Amino acid sequence: MIFFASDVHLASDTPAITARFLSFLERARREAQSVYLLGDIFESWVGDEDLGLKAYKPVFQALKETVQAGVAVYFMAGNRDFMVSDHVLAELGLIRLEDPYILSTTTWQFVLSHGDLYCTGDVPYQKFRARVRDPQTQARFLRLPYWLRRSIATWLRWRSKGRRYDAQTQMMTDVSQGTVEDEARRYGYATLIHGHTHRPATHDLFVDGIHVERWVMADWSADRGEYLTWNDTELSRQSI
């Protein structure tokens, strides 16, 4: 069994989400052969010092125990946790994935992505994304005191939650249909799995006359967590 999850948004002030994620990892240790974490697992990540956050300690321990149980755990960076370093992943035993990533099983092929790459209609965001992913920009940010980096992340989180979403913004921040169709052609009309948009749904597309599925994963809340499973024949949604 393969598990997929994204947009968990773990944070120090959301213990209920942390508890759900710990239950998810416990279930993975019992049922899964591999787990794919497709970005924004953490609400924010500002440097390796975050390994010392007390609220995250149970999560780090559970991730290590999952790997030690023989489950391969893969990590793809999202727009909230792209600063997670190779050192951190090695400490936790996680395997980094590039975005997008092609997952080929014995019975099917998937394109895995966090999803923000496909929101090409949001030009300001794509420019911002390119800037903050630049190694020189990241190096300058990491030279700031940890308390200042954490404060910047808190402010950005507050600004994001306070943003007004009108109809035009909703369209901009969703994936571009044309971009998704191009991606389907590029990767042989494989099934696309992504998160980021917080608009969970299963979309049936017809690209060049070929049926293509796009599965959008849900973001997690204090009331509900959702993940996908693949059992070699069927992709399905599960709640926890």
Note the pLDDT of residue 153: 87
Please check if 160 is assigned to a binding site. yes
Residue 9 assigned to a binding site: yes
* 79 in a labelled binding site: yes
Q: Is 80 annotated as belonging to a binding site?
A: yes
**Mean pLDDT in consecutive groups of 10 residues from the start of the chain, 240 residues:** 97 94 98 98 95 94 98 97 96 97 95 96 91 93 94 81 55 84 95 96 96 97 95 95
Q: According to the annotation, is 194 in a ligand binding site?
A: no
Do the Cβ atoms of 44 and 156 come closer than 8 Å? yes
198 is in an annotated binding site: yes
Pairing of strands 2-5, 101-104: unpaired
Distances (CA, A) of 86 to 8, 76, 77, 83, 113: 20, 12, 11, 9, 19
- The residue with tokens 């390119």 is 130
Domain 2-239 of CATH type 3.10.20.30 = no
Give yes or no for a contact between 40 and 81, defined as CB atoms under 8 angstroms apart.
yes
Q: In the chain, what are the domain boundaries?
A: 2-239
DSSP string, 148-178: HHHHHHHHHHHHHHT----HHHHHHHSPPHH
168 known member of a binding site: yes
pTM summary value: 0.94
| Cβ atoms 18, 230 nearer than 8 A | no
Closest C-alpha among 115, 106, 28, 111 to residue 80: 115
Does 208 carry a binding-site annotation?
Answer: no
Instruction: Report whether 196 belongs to an annotated binding site.
Output: yes
- What pLDDT, on the 0 to 100 scale, is given for residue 25? 98
| Sheet of strand 101-104: strand arrangement | 101-104, 109-113, 191-194, 210-216, 201-207
What is the distance between the alpha carbons of residues 106 and 15, in angstroms, rounded to a whole number? 38
Q: Is the peptide bond before 100 cis (omega within 30 degrees of 0)?
A: yes
User: Which pLDDT tens digit goes with each residue over 124-180?
Assistant: 989 999 999 999 999 999 999 999 999 988 887 777 665 555 545 555 578 999 999
